[in-house]
Amino acid sequence: MTEKPTFYITTPIYYPSDKLHIGHAYTTVAADAMTRYKRQRGYDAYFLTGTDEHGLKIQQRAAEAGQPPQEFVDGIVAGIKQLWQLLNIDYSDFIRTTESRHEQVVQRLFQKIYDQGDIYKSEYSGWYCMPCETFFTEHQLAEGHVCPDCGRPVQLAQEESYFFKMSKYADQWLKFIEDNPDFIQPDTRRNEMINFVKQGLEDLCVSRTTFDWGIKVPFDSKHVVYVWFDALVNYISALGVDSDDDSKYQKYWPADVHLMAKDIIRFHSIIWPIILMAAGLPLPKKVVAHGWLLMQDGKMSKSKGNVVDPVVLAEKYGVDAIRFFLLREMAYGMDANYSEEALVNCINIDLANDYGNLLSRTTAMIEKFLGGEVAPGSEGTEFDAVLWELAAQTPANMAKYMDKLDIANAIAEIWKLVGKANKYIDDTAPWALNKNGETEKLKTVMYNLAEVLRQVTILISPVMPNVAAKVWQQLGLDAATAGQDWEALAWGGFPAGTKIQRGEALFPRIDWEKQLAEENEGAAEESAAAEEPMAEIAPIKPEISIEDFERIDLRVCQVVACEKVKKADKLLQLTVKLGNEERTVVSGIAQYYQPDELVGRQVVLVANLKPAKLRGIESRGMILAASDGDKLQVLQVPAEILPGSIVR
């Protein structure tokens, strides 16, 4: 027997969050549908997902919850697995970065790259976005001195770190992309990545010392491995690379597809391949980025907030409908707007009107006109050939899109056949054939419709895995008689002589206006209290001792001069006076203050902060300011306190 071809697909591994939303679910649903599709086509498909559990953010959230980090993540991961089960996600393996099978591989890889001289120790100074776990240089920050990816405030990071010599591999990477033009998909993303690398690839900071919830650097236990270096390795650690049993690695690596949203394409298409190049391992075949599912912004009331929770949606509308909507709605590589109304429209139009109606009209007529029996007649109609032709072409038309992970267009191809079958009912008018006693033609028409329904159901079942069983029941079939794989798609597979069994509507229509009115009534009492403005509270950082705090020297100082830093939108250069001493401080507050406004004010300075060079100017200390995201105010001290005084 010949071995089946393999197909290895991955999703990103998720940060443990008990609030995974419908956008997160998109990637797993898409990867699951791809896996099921490949299995239908005879592949040995392997689907990996998991969780990305290290890093400062998790350490802080665990501290906030009063739990050890491991215990904290264990609870959340259990919830994530439940969510995937609910959404019918049939993954082959679930990797957690806190498992020893993963940690060992990360450490060995780090050691290997260090031993060959591609990881070296140096000093990191720059900006860090904790929610994104990403380092940025000053000029990469967005307006307002915030993270260019998520728009949240960044922190100054200045510490001894290990660096990975990414720069050394830039040419090799560019050559690889030139030789493998389909590696990064869609093309727009590939061009972005090429431009990014051509602008000059900097070495990557790959270790941290300011927290310890991570994988220890094997030769320097003061350091933990940077979360992204740690996380990316999951794609091979889960396969047992370099372990006693590496059979899965041998079988499935290199991955056929790493699937993710566009925000993390840089990590997957540049950093990850370069790690693999340095390690001398084969590169994945494709990295595919889909767009974002954008949530309705504006104020979210508690009840509205629940609407984007996949658990609530699945309970309300059914898992298959949610999966179908997600995959149908998000055009390849593009963003899509989420709204519950769009979901309801999709259920009403695509599922209830088109597909559900095709089933109910067909079964109703078979029952009424033919006593419930499906069998082709000896005569046909002039409309048959067109229907057969489209049915014969649809699998290939669909596969063309599916194979490049354009699931929305693949579904659209199946729906062309659904549409054609509905039109075929109108064209052939079975009620008229019945009335005129044209029974042989009538039998053929009804057989053709039942057969199209069988084909459509097989084709759509990777997207809606539960729907087939319901349709088979109504058509008098089961998985074995209907067939499940592509081989079963040959025309005429519907067993002649089958007795159908009409059932309830596959997807009942939803009265959106009525539902909305009922929900609004219930939510009306959710009162003004919830509307009160409040700053989003960032998690409280882990406890420190009073000695730790005393290491920070805070001083009152007076701003004696202030000017904009040339060619930097966000920076002001301040001259501040503390007692007899004057010093220069560069601060990212130009967005909020005109230079003149600050002169004469008494502000608070972190006086013993290690000096840093910003735009070539040495900044000695940092001015304290409070920000709630949109607004920013520097902290001020009244004039009766003399400059140089200690703040405690």
The site for ligand MSP (CB under 6 A) is made up of 12-15, 23-24, 26-27, 52, 231-232, 234, 260-261, 264, 292-293
Using the minimum distance from each CB to ligand MSP, give the nearer residue, 106 or 467.
106
Give the residue closest to ligand MSP by C-beta: 23
How near is the Cβ of 284 to ligand MSP at its closest, in Å? 12
CB 288 within 8 A of CB 316: no
Complete edge-to-edge strand list for the sheet that includes strand 184-185: 93-96, 44-51, 6-14, 257-261, 287-290, 184-185
How near is the Cβ of 557 to ligand MSP at its closest, in Å? 40
Alpha helices, DSSP H, located in 87-168: 100-115
Strand pairing category for 646-647 and 184-185: unpaired
Using the minimum distance from each CB to ligand MSP, give the nearer residue, 271 or 459.
271
Cα separation, 97 vs 77, in Å, equals 11
How near is the Cβ of 22 to ligand MSP at its closest, in Å? 8
* Neighbouring C-beta atoms of residue 41, cutoff 10 Å: 19
How near is the Cβ of 156 to ligand MSP at its closest, in Å? 23
Using the minimum distance from each CB to ligand MSP, give the nearer residue, 24 or 620.
24
Distances in Å between the Cα of 50 and the Cα atoms of 284, 414, 463, 587, 642 are 18, 31, 21, 40, 56
Using the minimum distance from each CB to ligand MSP, give the nearer residue, 161 or 234.
234
CA-CA-CA-CA torsion sign (480, 485, 487, 489):
positive
Kind plus residue range of the DSSP H or E element containing 37:
helix 22-40
* Lookup: tokens for 557: 């100082």
Map residue 321 onto helix, strand or coil. helix
How near is the Cβ of 231 to ligand MSP at its closest, in Å? 4
How near is the Cβ of 15 to ligand MSP at its closest, in Å? 4
How near is the Cβ of 325 to ligand MSP at its closest, in Å? 13
Cα separation, 446 vs 135, in Å, equals 63
Contacts of 550 (CB under 8 A, 6+ apart): none
Using the minimum distance from each CB to ligand MSP, give the nearer residue, 262 or 416.
262
* Neighbouring C-beta atoms of residue 33, cutoff 10 Å: 27
How near is the Cβ of 13 to ligand MSP at its closest, in Å? 5
How near is the Cβ of 259 to ligand MSP at its closest, in Å? 7
* Neighbouring C-beta atoms of residue 378, cutoff 10 Å: 9
- Which residue's structure tokens are 């658990």? 311
Using the minimum distance from each CB to ligand MSP, give the nearer residue, 260 or 411.
260
Using the minimum distance from each CB to ligand MSP, give the nearer residue, 233 or 571.
233
* Neighbouring C-beta atoms of residue 433, cutoff 10 Å: 23
Burial of 245 (0-12, 13-18, 19+ CB in 10 A): exposed
Using the minimum distance from each CB to ligand MSP, give the nearer residue, 84 or 424.
84
How near is the Cβ of 230 to ligand MSP at its closest, in Å? 9
How near is the Cβ of 17 to ligand MSP at its closest, in Å? 7
Which amino acid would we find at residue 355? Y
CB 292 within 8 A of CB 21: no
* Lookup: tokens for 207: 């270790």
Using the minimum distance from each CB to ligand MSP, give the nearer residue, 231 or 276.
231
Using the minimum distance from each CB to ligand MSP, give the nearer residue, 80 or 572.
80
Strand pairing category for 572-578 and 581-587: antiparallel
How near is the Cβ of 402 to ligand MSP at its closest, in Å? 19
Phi/psi for 171 (5° steps) reads -65, -40
Using the minimum distance from each CB to ligand MSP, give the nearer residue, 24 or 454.
24
Cα separation, 59 vs 73, in Å, equals 10
Strands (E), 240-292: 257-261, 287-290
Using the minimum distance from each CB to ligand MSP, give the nearer residue, 234 or 348.
234
Alpha helices, DSSP H, located in 484-568: 512-523, 546-550
How near is the Cβ of 132 to ligand MSP at its closest, in Å? 8
Using the minimum distance from each CB to ligand MSP, give the nearer residue, 26 or 124.
26
Task: List % helix, strand, coil for the chain (3-state, nearest 5).
Answer: 45, 20, 35
Checking 219-224 for CB contacts under 8 A at 24+ apart, the result is: 219/111, 219/114, 220/121, 220/162, 223/160, 223/161, 223/162, 224/54
